[in-house]
Structure 1
Amino acid sequence: MAEEVSNKQVLFQDFVTGFPKESDMVLSTGTIRLKVPEGSKAVLVKNLYLSCDPYMRIRMTKGAPDDFSPYIPGSPITGFGVAKVLNSGHPDFKEGDLIWGIIGWEDFTLISEPETVFKIKYTDVPLSYYTGILGMTGLTAYAGFYEVCTPKKGEYIFVSAASGAVGQLVGQFAKLSGCYVVGSAGSSEKVDLLKSKFGFDDAFNYKEEPDLNVALKRYFPEGIDIYFENVGGSMLDAVLANMRLHGRIVVCGMISQYNLEKPEGVHNLMYLITKRIQMKGFEVFDHFSSYPKFLEVTRQYVKEGKIVYVEDTVEGLESAPAALIGIFTGRNVGKQVVVVSHE
């Protein structure tokens, strides 16, 4: 019989209303056999790195949209991460392979549908990068910017939540495309990071701006061609008033709304008509076919130093709930990663 070992897990307690708390997740210890069931095409992995992402809050809500299937109370939290194959019943995966994709917040995960994960091809970069810049987050920035925004050289671009995992990459893609880019963030430290490390042309702390409409007019006196939307609410309202004729808004996320029982209304929608603005939402899952091209392009940018990347790491599964909650208060600087194991 296969060896049975303890398996530390972060379990989802129950559906959340309002702002999530650390107590909505609980650390528990179960057991798992280190061998896939006989005849199964499942893959057993040892988890190395976990990604904390805003969309995970949506999955804590009862009746979440189909694309964000709600977590099951009493079961482990799941999300994107990096893992190492220990045992496999699938012909495409063997012991020792490294993968990224949806895994459990636990020491070991039995992946019943391994077609949903990606085998890691390159190990000449930190493996944690596959939770972000070379994984789902990076593909989100790449597909949203290049495939949905369709930027042109010289355009004026605004990125909200710009120091976050997606925003920091969108800004750098914009600069590599010859665009003028301004970002917003929630602290002076993050604003400095945008300008000094990520190469944004300018940036501002939205918490210090009494009037976002006035602030945007100051940074974009001729208006905004492309807005990469990550926050929603009052920021979206102000942006609509500052868009240029035939501007584009790509909606990636609305983190300011996820913890509200009643989302805020948007009042400036008339500008969609008068300025002929195109506003389009997207989900990264629709762009997975672009992953091979994205990986080659972005990895080369990283190796050449044309793109820099900042991670905020914490150690251990016991730190995961606080890390996830922290992204909703802006506690992290850069991509929030949980280190489960260094093996």
Structure 2
Amino acid sequence: MSAAAPKLFISYRREETAGHAGRLYDAVATRFGADNVFMDVELAPGIDFVERITRAVGDCHTLLVVIGPRWASVRAPDGGGLARLAEADDYVRLEVETALRRADVRVIPVLVAGAQMPQPEQLPESLRALARRNAIELSDGRWRFDVGRLVDALDDEAGDARPAPAPAPLRVPSGALLLIEGALVTACAALLAHRVAVSVTDALDLDRDPATVVRRALNWGLLAAAVAAWLRLRVGGRGSVAGAVALGALAGAAGGALDAVLWLWVMEPSAGALRDDVARVAVGLLLGGLLGALWSPPRVVFGALAGACAAFLAQALLNTVWALDPGASASDARDYTFVTLQAVAVVAAALALLLWLAARRAPVSRPPR
């Protein structure tokens, strides 16, 4: 096998091990790239599923067979009491059979949820060679460590030409900690970014409108760059920290400038609160989309939608506060207040949705496995 990243195929029984397979996918996709990992073959109507599975398995170097406690005994609802594996057209059986027939495909049983390797007599004749394969156990209690062993084994087979493994993706049980960290990092970054933006625009001595554009571009650009650097360091993923910072600065600056342009020149002042809502939602879209782009696997659309909704709700809250205390909107603290509140809301909402998707990763729709 060459030193290039190995192509992996994850075979699993959806009704039993979908959650474990999703976590495993996130880990190996982060290390080897989503393009090198297959999970769920999407079958359009009229497609020969045997040919499609044969081609997909043939394109990979390694088949990871995720085995739960009932992997060999799950029964079809209308199969007359037979185990799924006894059916010749069972997807999981076809995937494993195809891989076992190929000398160039390595088959690794992956035991989850306390499963044991099935005995040869529990398997169809065509699958009995699987019982002789050395398995690796992924325990829920030591998931990171066990997945690290598996990734190291795949690395050893691929060769030593690649750089050291990237940090493993965040485990979902640590989601609350991630949200708290994100809120604190965002609030601190907002404070520093605001002070820098004010100092720069004061030093440039710009007119009011250009100063507003520059200030908001700097404000959101610096804030987004800091959040992007934190997220890349915290959860890992593809790409460098410098690349994440550059992407964050670009997305934040674009969002801040768009915010100012919409507020100053596009929306009529008579639009009132609507003008604020539209401008801030634009920022929420870009900042949330940035977090989605840095996630593994990328979830740009989900991040952007969560960010836009959070920005709208945060702006609605600010509009209410300012309606109760009109003097607050005239103070210099207004910019820092809305940037901090909205940035924290956008980051928290986007991360919460991304964590939820990671915990409930829904495979591509296909017939029951």
TM over 0.5: no
TM-score, normalised with respect to structure 1: 0.29
Normalised by the length of structure 2, the TM-score is 0.27
Bigger Cα Rg: 2
Q: Which has the higher helix share?
A: 2
More strand by share: 1
